[in-house]
Amino acid sequence: MTVLEDEIGALLKRAPGEPPLTLDPDAVLGTPPHRRLWLPALAAAVVVAALAVSIAVLVRHGGATHAARPTPRPTTIAQVREAKARAQVEHDLAYAALPSGAVAGTKTVHTDEEAFVVYGTQIWTVPGTLGAVSAYVAASPPAGLVRQYAGSLTLYFTCADRSIQYDFAARGSKVRVTVRVKAFWTPVRPQWSYVTQDATQVVVEIRRVGRHNLGRSTVIRRRIVTGADESSFARLVNAMRIERPDAGLCPEVPGLFDQVTFQDGARQLTVKTGQTCSGQDVVTVRGEREAVYLHDEHLDALVRQVSR
C-alpha cells in the first residue's frame, strides 16, 4: 500500500460515520418476527384457526374469497419501498394493541400506487365495554407514533410516514374495533422532472396569479437563461428531492402562487411555488401528464435565480 492508498482508506473508513438508519430483516422476510418465532409451536393451531376464520367469513358474506397469490419479488427501488410499506402495514395490523380475548375478523390490505400509500384494515371483536377497551388502547400507544386525536369512539396515532386509527363500536357485551393502518413510501423522482444536461438554455417565465383571477395570470418576469446561469438553474432544480404528493400539502388554493415555466429543448416543464399547511414553500414540477412535488430546500435560491 502506498501512502496515498493508506490515506484514502482512512478517509473512507471515517467518512460515513454512524448510519442513521437500521435495517429490518422483516422488510425482506415480510412477516413479523414474533409470529415467526411462535410458528413452529402454533402451526397446527394457526391452520385450524385460519380455516375457521375462512369458513366464518364465507358464511358471513355468503361468497367466495380470493385465492392467495404469490407476491412477485420486488426488483426496483420503487418496488422495494412499496414492499417495505406493505410489510409495515402487515406488522402494524398484526401487533395492534388490543386486550386479551380479541378475535380477528376480516382483514384487507391494498395499495394506492398513485398516492404512494398502502392501506390496511382489520376488524376485531373484543370482550368488554367501550370505555375499558378504548382506555386499554390509549394506554398502549404504538411505538414511534404520536397520538393526534383521542375521542370516545376513535383514537388516531401518526408519524411522518404511517398512521394507525382505532374505531370502537359497542356490540352487546363486546366491542367491535376497526384498526385502520396507512404506510407511505417515497416515490422515485422521474427522469422527465430533471433539466437535461445537454440543454443549452431554459426559458423561464414567472406568472403571478391573482387571488380572484381564477384561470388568468400576468407575466411578471421572462428571461432566457443560458451559460453558467442555465447550469446553475439546472443544478437547483435537479437537486430538489421528490416529496410524496400529500407530504404536508394543503389542497391547492387558487390564486396564491407564482408560476415559473421553463423550457428545456423541446420539453416544457412548469415549476409552481406554493405553500404547505405548515407555511413552508414547496415546488411542483408539472410535466405533460403528471406533477411531482419537490423538497423546498433550494426554493428561495431558485426564485432569486429566475427573478434577477
**Is residue 13 within the footprint of other proteins (CB under 8 A)?**
yes
Q: Which residues contact residue 50 at a Cβ distance below 8 angstroms, ignoring those fewer than 6 apart?
A: none
The alpha-helical segments, DSSP class H, found in 139-194 are: none
**Cβ closer to other proteins: 222 or 241?**
241
Cell of 291: 406533477
**Is residue 74 within the footprint of other proteins (CB under 8 A)?**
yes
What is the 8-class DSSP label of residue 140? S
Site for other proteins in 112-151 (CB under 8 A): none
**Is residue 159 within the footprint of other proteins (CB under 8 A)?**
no
List beta partners, residue 219. 207
**Can you tell me the distance from the alpha carbon of 38 to that of 40, in angstroms, rounded to the nearest whole number?**
6
**Is residue 281 within the footprint of other proteins (CB under 8 A)?**
no
**Can you tell me the distance from the alpha carbon of 243 to that of 249, in angstroms, rounded to the nearest whole number?**
10
**Cβ closer to other proteins: 2 or 278?**
2
Shortest distance, position 11 Cβ to other proteins, whole Å: 6
Grouping H, G, I as helix, E, B as strand and the rest as coil, residue 240 is coil
**Can you tell me the distance from the alpha carbon of 212 to that of 205, in angstroms, rounded to the nearest whole number?**
21
**Cβ closer to other proteins: 154 or 238?**
238
Site for other proteins in 289-308 (CB under 8 A): 295, 297
For other proteins, which residue of 84, 86, 207, 244 counts as binding (CB under 8 A)?
84
Cell of 283: 415546488
**Is residue 16 within the footprint of other proteins (CB under 8 A)?**
yes
For other proteins, which residue of 23, 44, 64, 67 counts as binding (CB under 8 A)?
23
**Cβ closer to other proteins: 100 or 191?**
191
Cell of 143: 411505538
For other proteins, which residue of 34, 36, 60, 222 counts as binding (CB under 8 A)?
36
**Is residue 12 within the footprint of other proteins (CB under 8 A)?**
yes
**Is residue 186 within the footprint of other proteins (CB under 8 A)?**
yes
Buried-state track 77-100, b at ≥16 Cβ within 10 A, e below 16 = eeeebbbbbbbbbbbbbeebbbbe
Site for other proteins in 195-254 (CB under 8 A): 235, 238-241
Grouping H, G, I as helix, E, B as strand and the rest as coil, residue 63 is coil
Q: Strands of 242-243's sheet, edge to edge?
A: 218-226, 201-208, 258-264, 267-275, 281-286, 291-294, 242-243
- The footprint of other proteins (CB under 8 A) covers 2-5, 7-9, 11-25, 27-29, 33, 36, 73-75, 77, 80-81, 83-84, 186, 188-191, 194, 235, 238-241, 295, 297
